[in-house]
Amino acid sequence: MQNRIVLGMASLCLGVLVFSLQDPLVKAVSSTYPVTEVMAIRSIVALPILIFLVH
């Protein structure tokens, strides 16, 4: 039970870190690439990760 609590806390911290890093990265890249392209690439990268986590 204790390991699942630690895993949940680590997952939450990792999620917050990813969202925090994603915002400045998208802002920096969107000055050279169209926003729709940046969002599409972000989604394409996130999809395999999400499928792995859900599986």
Q: What is the mean pLDDT of residues 12-37?
A: 90
For tokens 């204790």, the residue is 2
Q: Which band of pLDDT confidence, cut at 50, 70 and 90, is reported for residue 48?
A: very high
CB atoms near residue 38 (< 10 Å): 17
pTM for this model (two decimals): 0.63
Residue-level pLDDT at 1: 73
The pair phi, psi for residue 48, each rounded to 5°, is: -65, -35
Using alpha carbons, list the distances in angstroms from residue 6 to 14, 21, 53, 54.
12, 22, 17, 19
Two structure tokens written together for 45: 């990268």
CA angle 21, 51, 10 (to 5 degrees): 50
